[in-house]
Chains A and B, each alone.
Chain A
């Protein structure tokens, strides 16, 4: 639940999602779910000429398994908190 929790805190921020098929989509993070499926609103593709079929798309739903990277705004992330969350997750996993 770590990254689900993490992405929940980023809802409403601008992110760039790079997919495994090399398509990069910039948009506002609308929602995320436990599988890390991502819904973006008001999207724009970084290289429109290469992907003309995306011109008319405004909102999209991205399946979590096809995401390669998610580029985040740096000031929206608390790295110390993320480290602590990871430690807690590891501790919980070790207990269970």
Chain B
């Protein structure tokens, strides 16, 4: 596993088996030193171990080989005696020679308080965590660890810290990295020390609290500023510091709260992030000491940090991460950018406070950021087919535009009216005149009875029939919805927008035939027409349908309408929608020829209705009385008669046509029925134009009746 992180080849040496000079039997790789009883340390052992190690020859003080065992501890199976120790020391020597010697010398020179002092317990734990590894590099870090707890100047030449000499340390890659960095850091500190910066102080003896840590960071902060050419690797120190401090904090301190896991706490084995080269002149800004008050951090403010002599300025950071940047680097960069923006925010707030206004949420985003976010949202809503996706808005605007074009001809009158309606702006809640006291305020949580209303049930007998009716009505409604979809497709075909036309897949004839199949019963099938037309929706549907139908297709519909006039007119009492159908009928009627009329009126003639047995659900009574009592019906009849008169005048078909007989029959029937009517018949919408035509078919008396009925006034005749 070679990587460019180290200057040397960091590959683990292959397991060579027993070291030189030892036989396979004698050498025990899994010895008790590492795995067995020898891992138990005793309090007073360290002194002995310490002296022995100090007196070890052939190895510089930095290259401690903790491999030498005191003779008294030599037990069976522990083959790694002094020979092995020497060998391993030599091995480590070889490796260490590749590095610059100055690093080793400098490894102890550290400012006081830089490393938190690690008590024995921690050292033991750290040592225990280490495994077997034939590399004496680790001694360096432990040197430093030892130095922490001691006075700085005096300890410079101190022998290595206490460790069980029996231990063969195995270092993981992570530890190696840490050591390397500690070395380079130590080198810098050594230089710092020579400069005489305020480092001649005693290191703290006890566990460090937030202040001490801040001090440490301040020191680190000043250091790179003094040495702008300091190596970029100088900065990973802080995370070691933090980690050590936190490690120390856990077992020792009862301080609340536990240090928050900042960005610097890395899972074991992860590479330490490199700050980008542009960063080297500034402290990594997201470095909050573990005990940094979190509530302050979230608000974006900072306690007065000692190193913040200058007001926080945006850093000269690269906006584009360098190519091939480690994703973890990016995470760190993002957090740094975040910190930078919080500084800006803080700055803006200070300025705002000076001005007098106070908006805690100002300046969090630049206008550019806001616009960027808005654009994202708008992009999501962009659609290629506005007529389909955005139907209501598109159609509404279309209608308004068309209305405007029409209104534009009328001039400014409409516009003025619109402006006037916009003026009452201030909203006033509903106010009731003459109400005693205040209105009750009702909410979901406090419902009140506002209106005193009771439902009067007149008959309890028709309790069952309404149920059946509602079910029928619901079925009718569902059927209507199905038809509506088809009608909408029809309308889309006629729509001026090409997009609307493209949305319909079928052709007009197919759609129309589908609709008519439902409306006009096939032979023997149940006629749904009356139930559909009983509902308001059905009438509106018919209304919208008529413009799309051919003349011949409309005729059977009118016929059916008249046939079921009883039901339809009765149900229409509330809706009054039928009148809106009259113009359509008038239009139809205007084009009617006699056979069509005859077809339509055939349902009105009682004989014919008996001859053609109607389905059971339709009343066998002639619709004529119903038609005559209903204004709409009367209008229909009047128009029919009118048209017939026209046809007669034009003599098409000729007067000898058998249809005229049916017609005369019809007229006389109408006259008779109108005489028999108990109720006063309504007046037609279109009064009869030519009364004279009637005389051909009916006798005078009937004619007069009819004329009275149909409001034929000679004076007003057209």
- Taking a contact as CB atoms under 8 Å apart, the answer to whether B429 and A5 are in contact is no
- Taking a contact as CB atoms under 8 Å apart, the answer to whether B393 and A34 are in contact is no
The residue among A6, A14, A88 with the most chain B CB atoms within 10 A of its own CB is A88
Q: Does B40 contact A (CB under 8 A)?
A: no
Interface segment, one of B11-19, B124-132, B395-403, B560-568: B395-403
How far is the CB of B250 from the nearest CB of chain A, in Å? 42
- Taking a contact as CB atoms under 8 Å apart, the answer to whether A78 and B396 are in contact is yes
**Residue A46 contacts which of B393, B394, B427 (CB distance < 8 angstroms)?**
B427
B residues 390-428 in Cβ contact with A at 8 Å? 390-397, 399, 421, 425-427
- Taking a contact as CB atoms under 8 Å apart, the answer to whether B427 and A14 are in contact is yes
- Taking a contact as CB atoms under 8 Å apart, the answer to whether A5 and B488 are in contact is no
Residue of A nearest to B426 (CB): A44
Q: Contacts A9-B397, A85-B395, A92-B388 given; indicate if A26 touches B427 (C-beta within 8 A).
A: yes
- Taking a contact as CB atoms under 8 Å apart, the answer to whether B399 and A22 are in contact is no
Q: Which residues of A contact B443 (CB under 8 A)?
A: 22
- Taking a contact as CB atoms under 8 Å apart, the answer to whether A44 and B393 are in contact is no
- Taking a contact as CB atoms under 8 Å apart, the answer to whether B377 and A6 are in contact is no
Residue of A nearest to B430 (CB): A46
**Residue A5 contacts which of B392, B421, B426 (CB distance < 8 angstroms)?**
B392
Q: Contacts A26-B427, A84-B488 given; indicate if A33 touches B377 (C-beta within 8 A).
A: yes
The residue among B381, B393, B397, B425 with the most chain A CB atoms within 10 A of its own CB is B393
B residues 258-277 in Cβ contact with A at 8 Å? none
Q: How far is the CA of A90 from the CA of B390 in the complex (A)?
A: 14
Q: How far is the CA of A91 from the CA of B443 in the complex (A)?
A: 36
- Taking a contact as CB atoms under 8 Å apart, the answer to whether A34 and B397 are in contact is no
Q: Produce 1/0 per residue, A31-50, CB < 8 A to B.
A: 00110000000001011000
Q: Contacts A34-B380, A34-B381, A46-B427 given; indicate if A78 touches B399 (C-beta within 8 A).
A: yes
Q: Which residues of A contact B444 (CB under 8 A)?
A: 20, 22, 68
Q: Which residues of A contact B421 (CB under 8 A)?
A: 75
- Taking a contact as CB atoms under 8 Å apart, the answer to whether B481 and A1 are in contact is no
Q: Does A58 contact B (CB under 8 A)?
A: no
Q: Does B485 contact A (CB under 8 A)?
A: yes
The residue among B394, B425, B427, B481 with the most chain A CB atoms within 10 A of its own CB is B427
* Contacts between chains A and B (CB distance < 8 A), count: 64
B residues 121-145 in Cβ contact with A at 8 Å? none
Q: How far is the CA of A2 from the CA of B488 in the complex (A)?
A: 16
How far is the CB of B91 from the nearest CB of chain A, in Å? 67
Q: How far is the CA of A46 from the CA of B430 in the complex (A)?
A: 10
Q: How far is the CA of A16 from the CA of B429 in the complex (A)?
A: 10
Q: Does B389 contact A (CB under 8 A)?
A: yes
How far is the CB of B487 from the nearest CB of chain A, in Å? 9
- Taking a contact as CB atoms under 8 Å apart, the answer to whether B426 and A81 are in contact is no
Q: Does B114 contact A (CB under 8 A)?
A: no
Q: Does A55 contact B (CB under 8 A)?
A: no
Q: Does B484 contact A (CB under 8 A)?
A: yes
- Taking a contact as CB atoms under 8 Å apart, the answer to whether A6 and B392 are in contact is yes
Q: Does A63 contact B (CB under 8 A)?
A: no
Q: Which residues of B contact A47 (CB under 8 A)?
A: 429
Residue of A nearest to B388 (CB): A92
Q: Does A8 contact B (CB under 8 A)?
A: yes
- Taking a contact as CB atoms under 8 Å apart, the answer to whether B392 and A2 are in contact is yes
Q: Which residues of A contact B425 (CB under 8 A)?
A: 14
Q: Which residues of B contact A75 (CB under 8 A)?
A: 421
- Taking a contact as CB atoms under 8 Å apart, the answer to whether A85 and B380 are in contact is no
- Taking a contact as CB atoms under 8 Å apart, the answer to whether A6 and B485 are in contact is no
Q: Does A82 contact B (CB under 8 A)?
A: yes
Q: Produce 1/0 per residue, B687-708, CB < 8 A to A.
A: 0000000000000000000000
Q: How far is the CA of A1 from the CA of B395 in the complex (A)?
A: 14
Q: Which residues of A contact B397 (CB under 8 A)?
A: 9
Q: How far is the CA of A22 from the CA of B394 in the complex (A)?
A: 33
The residue among B392, B393, B399, B444 with the most chain A CB atoms within 10 A of its own CB is B392
7 contacts between A and B (CB under 8 A): A6-B392, A8-B393, A9-B393, A22-B445, A81-B399, A91-B485, A91-B488
Binding site for A on B (CB under 8 A): 377, 380-381, 388-397, 399, 421, 425-427, 429, 443-445, 481, 484-485, 488
In the complex, the 10 A-B pairs of residues with the closest C-beta atoms, listed nearest first: A26-B427, A85-B392, A5-B393, A5-B392, A9-B396, A22-B443, A8-B393, A5-B390, A85-B391, A6-B392
